[in-house]
Amino acid sequence: MREITSESAGFQTLCVRLERYIEDRSLLRLALVHRSYCAEHAGQHSNERLEFLGDSVLGFVVTDELYRSFPDLREGDLARIRADVVSAVALAPLASSLGVGEALLLGRGEEHSGGREKPSLLADALEAIMGAILLASGTERAAAFVRELTQAKIAEVSRRSVYGDAKNRLQELAAKRHIESVSYTVAEIGPDHQRRFVAEVTFAGVVGRGEGHSKKEAERQAAIFVLEALEHFGA
């Protein structure tokens, strides 16, 4: 079985991608050490303390961004957006896009069970990387890293807040137009450990498509697409 070390291709690639934010490779390596690896390597510490630190960095920066960017949103709306943005469901794809999975240091059991693609492990490692950047490079670079990673997700989730419960709003619009119901078609894609749902809905000639980690989320995204299109064209 291959051994993922600090000199692996995955680690080297990650170092290049993060070189603007962290130059301390030993600290970055620590951020990638899952506790299953420690069980097989005496004296090796896990990334859990860095994860604890990074979680605080993530929460603070996202909260600050939301507070400054949406002065008209209520506290409850801000809290809901933050919860979505900092969730493992949101963080795992970001970690995957950086190549974190290929650089993880895992024990044999975790390796064989698909640990490199598990959302919880990817999200935890990403938070640990945030903690490592804070320690190695300071607050400004850590904050810049978090902002770069989360800005698209913040925009996406905040848009949902503007539309509230998009499925209900679309159904209400259907009632006003004397349309009996709005129906969605949903398909499942991806392997079991990365299952995703794709939903489609057609309304007033607009085909809305959405994806998510649950059927409900995929349908909501499809409804948001339709509502945005109708608003854009004034329909």
Active-site residue list? 55, 127
Residue partners of 80: CB distance under 8 A and separation at least 6 = 161
Give the separation between CA 139 and CA 39, rounded to whole angstroms: 32
Alpha-carbon radius of gyration of the chain: 21
E-state strands within the chain: 184-189, 196-203, 206-212
How many whole angstroms separate alpha carbon 213 and alpha carbon 33?
26
Q: Give dist(CA 129, CA 134) in Å, integer.
A: 9
**Nearest CA-CA partner of 27 in 114, 109, 141:** 141
